[in-house]
Every structure is written in C-alpha cells, then in structure tokens.
Amino acid sequence: MADNEKENLTAAPSTEEPAEKTENTETTETTETTGDAPKPEKPKKPVNVAMRKRLRYGGLATAITCVVVAIVVVLNILVSHLTERYPLKLDLTEDGIYEISQESIDYLTKLDKPVSINVLMGESNFQTGGTNMKMISELLEKYTQYSDKITLRYVDPNTDPDVVNRYQAGYSGTLQEGDIIVADANDDTKLRVVSVGDLFTYDQQKYAMYRYYGQGTLEDCITGFSGEQNLTAALLYVTDADPIHVAVLTTANGEPLYNQSYNAYSLGIFAQTLTKNGYDVQEIDLYNDTLDPAKYDVVVLPAPVNDLTATAVDNISAFLFNDGQYDHSMIYFADFTQGATPNLDELLSTWGIEVSDMMVLEGDQNAAQQVTLRIGNASVPVAKISDTDFAAGLANNSLPIVSPLCRSITLLWDSKTAGITHELLKTSDTVYLSKMGESTEDADKTPVGSQTVAALTQRRENIDNVTHQSSIMVLGSMLLTDVNVMQDASYNNANYLISAVNTMTGKGSGLIIAEKQLTKETLTLTTGDLHGAEAFILLIPTAVLVIGMVVILRRRNK
C-alpha cells in the first residue's frame, strides 16, 4: 500500500499539469478571438521641435500686435483730447490755410478779458460743409486753444432762441442763422457780429454773374479767406476799453456824396479794412447828421463830387479843433471824378495842403505796374514810401503800392512853425501830368519829377505838458483803395494804408493780418481730421512694420 500511495503521489503532478495548460490555452484562444483583452500601447512619437518654436513665436507676434494696437487706440484717444484743448494740430496745406498768424497768437496769449463767441449755426454744418466751412471752425477752435479767456459755443437759433434774444438788444441789425457773435463776456451790449459770408472775399465779376444770373456756384466766386482778419478785429473791438470811432460821410442830404459808378466799391473796401482792424465804423450824412467830436474820433471824406458848403467846412474844422483839445483826424480822398471844390480847397490850405487838378501818370513803361482795376486794366505809377514812420506795421516792404490816376499833392508849409508835414507816398521821377477832364493822349508827356500822391499834416498843442494833435491825411485818388487792388495780396496798398491810419490815430501798428488766398490747389488735411497725423501716419506704422520684420526673420532663423 505504501508502494501504491507512493505511485499515486508521484503521478499526480504529471496528471494535473497538462490539464492546467489546456485550460490556459483555451482561455488565451478565447481572449484573442473575442478581442476583450487590452491592445498593447504604441510607442510615442518624438515631439516636433520646429512646431513648438512656431507656436511660441507666433504667440509672441500676436501678443506684440495686440499691444501695438492697444497703444495706438490709447494714443489716438489721448491726442484727440489734447488737440481739442491745445494747438497741437498740423496744417499740411500748401499755404497754411488752417493756421493763424503770429500777430493773432501774440494777441490771444496776452488777452486778459473774458470773451464769448456764439455761432448761430450747428457745429456739424462746419464739419460737413466742405473746406471753406471747415476753415471757420478750425480758426474758432484755435482761438480757444491759445486763450482760456475765450468761450466758444455753437447754437441753433431755432431751438435756442434765448441766445438770440440776449444779444439782439445790443445789436442794431437783425441776428440770423450763420452770424458769429463776438461779445464782451461781462457786457452783452459790447459786441461785434460777423456773418459767415463776410469771412471770405470774392471775384467780383464771378460773384455778379452768380448773384444776378445764377451762373456757377458761390464757392466758385471765393478767392480768399479773411476770417482771421474779421474775427480778430471783432476781438480787438470788444476788448478795447477805448476803441476808435470813425464817421464816414457817405451822403449829403440823403444823396450819394461821391461818384458811385467809380468809387462805391473803393469806399466799401476801405471801410471794411478799418473794421477788420478794430475800428468802429459808422456811416453818416454830411448835412443831416451831427459830426460830434465826443462821439467820433476820425472822419472820412470820400471825394465829394460837389463842393462842400461853408457850414459843412466849419463843422469839419470844429471837429478837428475839438474846443482846443485836438486829438481828432480826417482822411480825405481826392479823385479825378470831382468837380471844382473851392470851399474844400480853402480848408485844406489852412492845414498846409494843396491838391492840384493834374493827374499823375507813368511815362516809363518799364517803371509802370500793370493792374486790373474794377474800372478796367491800366498801366499805373508805383508809389514809394517816403516816411517810414507810417509804414511801421508792414510785414513785407518789398510789395508794390500802386497809385492809379492820383492827383498831385503839394505841401504848403515850408517850416514846422504852423504844423508838421509828412510826405507819405511819392512816385518815380519819370511820371508826367495830365489835366483832369482832358484826354491823356493830348497831355505833355515830359517827365516832371517825383510827385507826392499821399500826404499828412498835423497841428499840435501842448496842454498841461501833454501834446495833443489833430491830423489830416490826404490821398490822391479813390483808386488807391480799388477793391481789386486792396484784395490782391500782390500789392501793399491795404497793409500800408491801415498802417498809416493806425500811426496817425495813435493806434500803433495794430494787427495787420494777411488774407489767405484760396485760388491754388491745396491738400485739405488737418490734424483735426488725422488726430496727430505725424504720429499715426508715419511713426506708428513704421514701428509696426519693423517689429513685424524682426519677428519674421527670427522665426525663419530658429
């Protein structure tokens, strides 16, 4: 039994082991057949280093772009606010049509009285109304930027009639849409009203065709922008504690005093020039109104066709004498359109001046100046400044002063015992004389030497150790202020005459502001449109381009 047990014990392992293998085999076969067992893991592919670099630098480029865009947006907002408050705008036009003169800047920076400017029109009309309207809004904005004493408002008179009613009481005319009211902020009655249309000068022939025949457009007629002249003059007037008041004798018993066919435009432009330079100009009748020395400081007598009565001469003499206080002036225009004026001539002689009946014409065509006057084309003498004290306000002394059809002037006082005399303008030595009313073809063209065509005399009185004086300025022709000549920046007539009047009245040099010519092609861009064009058009895009190129090169080299 022992042997049998030993046999069984020995055999058992061999019997069970194959069974175990068989079971495992079946299980393995079943697993492979059914697919329930997990698949072996595939080996991981190596990471692409180039792709990682592209992702990294691409993200950097995106971040840089975002930062640059954010900087541009922030700077744009910042510059927009700054350009609204400070004069940081760039004028890229050829002639600087959006700039203001240094004279105005100097005046504005020293302004110490509060001024309100109310524009009776919506601001959007100026922003969308083309270049001409844009010039007005840019100019007004610059006034506020150079002086914190100026308050600017755009008012719709239809929806805000209170503003109109507020200033209407102190204005003799009728306020309407498009008017610009410049007023002393502390005194509503001290104001100057300038219409939008008055801020431009026009080609008179084109304007007549447009106005009377409907040919062309108003914009086609515009030749210049006198906005700064008009608006700065308005500022001068309302901030001047003692403005100079001018009486222009335009009528006599209700009828025109001067030859309207030839001289209406000349007188009009002269009065406008005075107004633009801060004078308070009023028209009065020689016989029906009172030439009150307490009300007016200067009287303008524009080439009366008929002689003055003895009473009118006495009134003018009394005005200049001013009860012995003097300090008054007269501007007298002689002209070839006048008849005999013995009473007026006698008044002038008592002031040391004689105006002849001879017209001064240029005999040397090389010395003559070809000009287009309102009455036609002419070859006229060029006048030279004789007394530089009265030309102190000129910005450019090289421009010619033309003297069409001037009457010759003679100074009668040989000494300074009776008064002070000044030769203002004299012609060349090659001129000849032609009698008024006769054909110039029959005149003796022999040169007579230099002739005086503008002069001034003064009477002075020392009162309590203070010098007081009255003056008479005589101009040889109304054509010295021809509308075409006065509006042409090629001539110095307008600037010289206002300089001489300023010196005579003691107003000093004043502000002689040149009109901006608009007849040339210009690039109508301002920094108001570009919000800092120099920074955003040039610097920022260049910086973005450089950064982009650096990023591209680095990506290619990595």
pLDDT per residue as tens digits for the range 338-347: 999 999 999 9
- How many angstroms separate the Cα of 351 from the Cα of each of 29, 174, 474? 142, 42, 11
For residue 152, the model assigns a pLDDT of 96
**Residues 326-371: tens digit of each pLDDT:** 999 999 999 999 999 999 999 999 999 999 999 999 999 999 999 9
How are beta strands 466-475 and 452-463 bridged, if at all? antiparallel
DSSP state of 418: S
Helical residues (DSSP H) of 277-406, grouped into ranges: 310-321, 342-350
Cα gap 374→514, rounded to integer Å: 21
What three-state secondary structure class fits 45? coil
**Pairing relationship of beta strands 222-225 and 280-285 according to DSSP bridges:** unpaired
Q: How far apart are CA 69 and CA 52, in angstroms?
A: 26
CA gap 272, 441 in Å, rounded: 36
In the beta sheet, which residues pair with residue 433?
Answer: 360
Report the pLDDT value the prediction gives residue 236, as an integer from 0 to 100. 86
Nearest CA among 517, 381, 505, 510 for reference residue 451: 381
Opening angle at CA 304, ends 455 and 504, nearest 5: 30
Residue whose tokens read 């392992």: 13
Predicted TM-score (pTM) above 0.75: no
CATH fold for domain 245-506 = Rossmann fold (3.40.50)
Sign of CA dihedral 22, 23, 29, 32: negative
- Both structure tokens of 466: 């203070």
Number of other residues whose CB lies within 10 A of the CB of residue 287:
17
Please state, in angstroms and rounded to a whole number, the distance separating the CA atoms of residues 31 and 27.
6
Q: Which of 192, 102, 105 has the alpha carbon at shortest distance from 142?
A: 105
Distances 313 to 254, 289, 515 between C-alpha atoms, Å: 18, 14, 37
Q: Which helix (H) or strand (E) holds 505?
A: helix 493-505
| DSSP state string for 195-246 | EGGGGEEE-HHHHHHHHHH--S-HHHHEEEE-HHHHHHHHHHHHH-SSPPEE
Q: What local confidence, expressed as pLDDT, does residue 220 receive? A: 86
Strands 298-302 and 245-252 come out as parallel
Query: Mean pLDDT per segment of 10 residues, for the chain of length 558 residues?
Result: 44 44 44 53 58 62 73 65 50 63 88 94 87 90 94 91 90 91 92 90 83 86 86 88 92 96 95 87 96 97 97 97 95 97 97 96 94 92 95 85 97 74 96 94 93 95 86 97 89 93 82 66 39 55 72 67
H or E segment to which residue 41 belongs: none
467, 446 contact by CB (below 8 A): no
Residue 45 has a pLDDT of 54
The DSSP symbol for 389 reads: G
pLDDT at 172: 83
Cβ pair 373, 485 in contact under 8 A = yes
pLDDT of residue 531: 45
Q: Look at residue 547 in the predicted model and tell me its pLDDT.
A: 77
Backbone angles phi, psi at 449, to 5 degrees: 90, 175
Residue partners of 517: CB distance under 8 A and separation at least 6: 95, 223, 224, 489
Residues 6+ apart with CB under 8 A from 212: none
Contact (CB, 8 A) for 512 and 103:
yes
Look up residue 526 and give its DSSP letter.
B
What pLDDT is recorded for position 6? 41
- 95: exposed, middle or buried (C-beta count within 10 Å: 0-12, 13-18, 19+)? middle
Strands annotated E in 310-437: 329-333, 353-362, 369-373, 376-380, 382-385, 401-402, 406-411, 420-426, 431-435
Q: Where are the beta strands (DSSP E) in 240-352?
A: 245-252, 255-256, 280-285, 298-302, 329-333
Domain residue spans of the chain: 51-86+534-558, 91-243+507-525, 245-506
Rounded to whole angstroms, how far apart are CA atoms 319 and 101?
37
Q: Does domain 91-243+507-525 have CATH number 3.40.30?
A: yes
Phi, psi for 407 (deg, rounded to 5): -85, 145
Q: What is the chain's Cα-based Rg?
A: 43
Residue 206 contacts residue 228 (beta carbons within 8 Å): no
